[in-house]
Chain A
Amino acid sequence: MSERVPRARIAMLHGIVRREEKLLIEAFGRSPEIELVLLEERAMVFAPAAGYGFDAVLSRSVSFSRGLYARRIFEARGVPCFNSARVAETCGDKLLTSLALENASVPQPEFRVAFDETAALESMEAMGFPVVLKPVVGSWGRLVARADDRDAAESLLEHRAALPSYMHHVYYLQRYVDKGGYDVRAFVVGERVVAAIRRWSANWRTNTHRGGRAEALAVGDDLSSVCLSAARAVGGGMLAIDLFETRDGYLVNEVNDTMEFRNSIEPTGVDIPGAMVEHVLSQVTEGAGACGRLAS
């Protein structure tokens, strides 16, 4: 009996291995067409002109900066990355995401950006409280704060200004959306919305990382349309779109590049890691790679 020869050698860049990475490794293992190479980012040294013996890289780094710079290096050597460095860069920065959505006329909550405490406070007053203050880089709801009035806003801005990183002195302000205890997360893989959930939480930050509860949501035409528009706006690929459902339709809150899906498989019954592996393989075998493929 002859063994099937893998058609593609795919590297998965990772740091710590979470449930998502284990599920992806299992999904890769179910495909005889793929040989998987695990790249542990902390053990890697990128040397000039080094060659890489794989066809593509799937980035699953939990670190935005490591994942972004590694992808830049791989792409500079002609190795396509999933998602591309450009997509990672856009999704990893809330301002860049908002600008990309705005340029594509994708509905999103009203936002402002200020570089000074006083200007930020005046802007918040002009927007009307409550206002949400977010770091431009960061995830899992970390340091996301809601100011219900001017006093709270002054305190938040003072604390933010005291933080040492210059990134915390870029004040991204977003109008608070009363979302009724839940938000929506939809998973885009290529040109399809493969699954969606409602995330319920008693906390105003509905994030399953913070203990939110997930339930399946049927993907209708309106949800599919806004999610695919958002995905194209940031460059396309495999993306988790977070949305608010309002009386006026969906608003895209965030677009996540290294999507977490462990809590969405059971309620939706969708093999999300399997869909991701299929997508990577199809892109590689088509020879297109992920780099800017959907950008137009």
Chain B
Amino acid sequence: MNVTLYGFFLLPGTLFLTRGSSPATTGVHWEVTMPACPVCEADVPVSADALVHELVDCGDCATELEIASLSPPVLREAPVEEEDWGE
């Protein structure tokens, strides 16, 4: 995806990013939410195109997290790898 980020501003709990330079998407706004890490309570950025059950890492404590909900944004610890996981 040809996207260039050129600015952002913060509101409590929410980071708004504005993107430009992509001919097809100029003027579209990305909303990046910042739910708390359930382990260390640091803010963890979750992009607007994220999906429920997608995995993200906490930048502070490095815990692997799963997006439990997008509205409201909620994170939980990712399930631990089980014996039958794989391809």
A62 adjacent to B53 (CB under 8 Å): no
Q: Interface segment, A9-17, A72-80, A126-134, A273-281?
A: A9-17
Q: Tell whether A2 is near chain B: CB-to-CB under 8 Å.
A: no
Residue contact B87 to A256, C-beta cutoff 8 Å: yes
Bound Cα distance from A259 to B86, whole angstroms: 9
Query: What's the nearest-Cβ distance from chain B to residue A283, in Å?
Result: 21
Cβ-neighbour of A142 out of B51, B66, B79, B86 (below 8 A)? B86
* Nearest 3 Cβ contacts at the A-B interface: A139-B86, A256-B87, A64-B84
Contacts A16-B66, A16-B78, A16-B79 given; does A22 touch B87 at CB 8 Å: no
Interchain CB contact (< 8 A) of A137 among B55, B78, B84: B84
When chains A and B are docked, how far (Å) is the Cα of A62 from the Cα of B78? 13
A14 to B84 Cα, complex, angstroms: 15
Known contacts A15-B79, A16-B53, A40-B53; is A258 also within 8 Å of B84 by CB?
A: no
Interface centre among A21, A63, A167, by most chain B C-beta atoms within 10 angstroms, is A63
* Most chain A CB neighbours (cut-off 10 Å) among B51, B53, B82, B86: B86
The answer to whether B86 touches A138, judged by C-beta atoms less than 8 angstroms apart, is yes
B55, A65: Cβ atoms under 8 Å? Answer: no
Contacts of A140 in B (CB 8 A): 85-87
Inter-subunit contact A17/B53 (CB<8 Å):
yes
B54 within 8 Å of A (CB atoms): yes
Q: Which residues of B68-87 are within 8 A (CB) of A? A: 78-79, 82-87
Cβ–Cβ contact A63 & B53, under 8 A: no
**Would you call A258 and B87 a contact (CB within 8 A)?**
yes
Q: Which of A25, A63, A167 contacts B85 (CB 8 A)?
A: A63
Residues of B within 8 A of A92 (CB): 84
Is A240 located at the chain interface by the 8 A CB criterion? yes
Which of A17, A137, A256, A260 is in CB contact (< 8 Å) with B83? A137
Interface residues of A in 111-146 (CB under 8 A from B): 135, 137-140, 142
As a 0/1 sequence over residues 38 to 53 of chain B, the CB contacts with chain A under 8 angstroms (1 = contact) are 0000000000000111
Contact B53 A138 (CB under 8 A): no
Tell me whether A260 and B87 are in contact (CB under 8 A): yes
Q: Provided the pairs A15-B79, A16-B78, A16-B79 are in contact, do residues A138 and B54 lie with their beta carbons within 8 angstroms?
A: no
Q: Would you call A165 an interface residue if the criterion is a C-beta within 8 Å of the partner chain's C-beta atoms?
A: yes
- The interface residues of chain A, by DSSP majority, are classed as loop
A22 with B85, Cβ < 8 A, contacts A16-B66, A16-B78, A16-B79 known? no
Q: How far is the CA of A40 from the CA of B66 in the complex (A)?
A: 13
- Collect the chain A residues with CB atoms within 8 Å of residue B51's CB: 17, 21-22, 25
Residues in chain A near residue B55, CB distance under 8 A: 16-18
A213 to B51 alpha-carbon distance, docked (Å): 28
A:18-32 near B, CB below 8 Å: 18, 21-22, 25
Measured between alpha carbons, how far is A264 from B66 in the docked complex, in Å? 25
28 A-B pairs whose Cβ atoms sit less than 8 Å apart in the complex: A14-B53, A15-B53, A15-B79, A16-B53, A16-B66, A16-B79, A17-B51, A17-B52, A17-B53, A17-B54, A18-B54, A18-B55, A40-B52, A40-B53, A62-B85, A63-B85, A64-B84, A64-B86, A92-B84, A135-B83, A138-B84, A139-B85, A139-B86, A140-B85, A140-B87, A142-B86, A167-B83, A256-B87
Rounded to whole Å, the gap between the CB of A215 and the closest CB of chain B is 20
